[in-house]
């Protein structure tokens, strides 16, 4: 499968200035590069959940699985388990992956299954018109919390590190070059990889200026060092004002879940013979 432009005829319905465009453009570029480097595009499946982010699969002309809210990860895992050639990239919102579907994300990290999760973390529910999410800062006033949220956000990277993820990165929708680098690294990483993208919702939670003032790229950071990774991940807790590090926090080689799963099916005649043997042994 060779394509110059990975686009489709679907009309893009994201708001002008939406952070999702950066993710869309970055992933298209990365897929093009990987394709040029020898990855057949038919070996790629994109999975998405429900929310603004999820439309991304309609806009890219490769295999896709448009799942339901919170359920990107388990579908992506099973697709990966279906064929050792597959590169499975899951796209999910913060409400999707860190809220409704958090159990699946923790377990996928725990299994170190070789899939890539890209989280469109705009820290607000967009498509349902502006409610708080698991990563909204405390006090966030949304339509379901007009007095401001009383709970603290989770730090998803800290949670993923604790769960056993073997690649963790963070970028922003104002930094497409870094996104490309992180996506490519994550896709090529053997094991569970997650890139948290501080993707801005221009309509309900415009954080462009806030992020622009605080972000910096990690330098002299050793991603093989768990403690360094944890320290950098904890530098900003998604709540208090702090410097926000971007880049590759953590990267570790480790056995993956799917090894040993790719077995040949038994052909029907042999299958029937084995069934007969089982029945005989039950007499």
Partner 1 sequence: MNEVSFLIGGKAGFGIDKSGTVIAGILNRMGYRIYIYRDYPSLIRGGHTFSIIRASKTRVACHLNKVDIILALNQDTFNFHKARLKEDSLIISDSDVVKIEGVSNRVIGIPITGMVKEENAAEIMRNTCVIGALCKAAGISWDILDEIFRKEFTKEIDINLKIARRGFDAAREEKRIEGLGQAPLAMLTGNQAAGLGLIRGGLKTYISYPMTPSSPILHFLAEMAPDFGLKVIHPESEIGVVLMALGASYMGERVAVGTSGGGFCLMTEGLSFSGMSELPVVFIVGQRPGPSTGLPTYSAQTELHFVLNAGQGEFVRLVVAPADPEEAYYWSAVSLALSQKYQIPGIILTDKNMGEGTFNFDLSSMGEIREEPPLLWDRKSEYKRYLDTENGVSPLAFVPDRNAIVKVNSYEHDEYGITAEDQQITTRMNDKRLRKATYLAKDLEGYPCVKTYGNKDSSTVLLCWGSNKGVCVEAAERSGLKVVQPLVLWPFPVKQFQDALQGVKKLICVENNATGQLTRLLKAQGFGTDKQILKYDGRPFSLDELQERLSGV
Window contacting partner 1 (CB under 8 A); options: 47-55, 122-130, 136-144, 167-175: 47-55
5 binds partner 1 (CB under 8 A): no
Closer residue to partner 1, CB minimum distance, 23 or 50: 50
141-168 CB burial, b ≥16 within 10 A, e <16:
ebeeeeeebeeebbbbbbbbbebbbbbb
Query: Rounded to whole angstroms, how far apart are CA atoms 267 and 174?
Result: 53
97 binds partner 1 (CB under 8 A): no
Q: Is 283 exposed, middle or buried (0-12, 13-18, 19+ CB in 10 A)?
A: exposed
Window contacting partner 1 (CB under 8 A); options: 168-176, 187-195, 231-239, 268-276: 268-276
Among 9, 37, 38, 147, binds partner 1 (CB under 8 A): 9
Residue 74 Cβ vs partner 1, minimum distance, rounded to whole Å: 4
Q: Give me the phi and psi of 48, to 5 degrees please.
A: -135, 165
Helix (H) and strand (E) counts in the chain: 9, 8
Closer residue to partner 1, CB minimum distance, 50 or 215: 50
Q: Site for partner 1 (CB under 8 A): how many residues? A: 53
CB 248 within 8 A of CB 169: yes
Q: Which residues in this chain contact partner 1 in the complex, by CB under 8 A?
A: 1, 8-10, 40, 42-43, 45, 47, 50, 55, 57-58, 61-68, 71, 74-79, 81-83, 85-86, 103-104, 106-107, 261, 263-266, 268, 271-272, 274-276, 278-280, 282-283
């Amino acid at each position: 499968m060779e394509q110059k432009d990975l686009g489709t005829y679907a009309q893009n319905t994201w708001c002008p200035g939406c952070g999702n465009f950066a993710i869309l453009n970055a992933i298209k570029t990365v897929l093009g590069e990987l394709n040029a480097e020898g990855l057949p595009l038919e070996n790629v499946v994109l999975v998405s959940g429900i929310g603004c982010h999820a439309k991304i699969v309609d806009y890219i002309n490769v295999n896709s699985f448009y799942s339901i809210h919170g359920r990107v990860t388990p579908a992506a895992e099973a697709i990966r388990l279906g064929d050792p050639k597959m590169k499975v990239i899951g796209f999910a919102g913060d409400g999707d992956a860190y809220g409704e579907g958090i159990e699946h994300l923790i377990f996928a990290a725990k299994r170190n299954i070789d899939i890539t999760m890209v989280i469109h973390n705009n820290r607000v529910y967009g498509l349902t018109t502006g409610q708080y999410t698991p990563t909204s800062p405390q006090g966030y006033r949304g339509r379901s919390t007009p007095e401001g949220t009383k709970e603290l956000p989770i730090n998803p990277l800290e949670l993923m590190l604790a769960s056993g993820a073997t690649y963790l990165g963070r970028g922003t929708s104002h930094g497409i070059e870094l996104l490309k680098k992180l996506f490519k690294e994550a896709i090529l990483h053997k094991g569970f990889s997650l890139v948290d993208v501080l993707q801005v919702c221009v309509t309900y939670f415009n954080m462009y200026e806030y992020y622009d003032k605080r972000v910096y790229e990690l330098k002299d950071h050793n991603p093989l060092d768990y403690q360094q990774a944890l320290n950098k991940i904890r530098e900003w807790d998604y709540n208090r004002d702090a410097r926000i590090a971007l880049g590759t926090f953590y990267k570790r080689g480790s056995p993956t879940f799917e090894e040993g799963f790719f077995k040949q099916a038994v052909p029907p005649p042999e299958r029937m013979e084995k069934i007969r043997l089982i029945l005989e042994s039950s007499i």
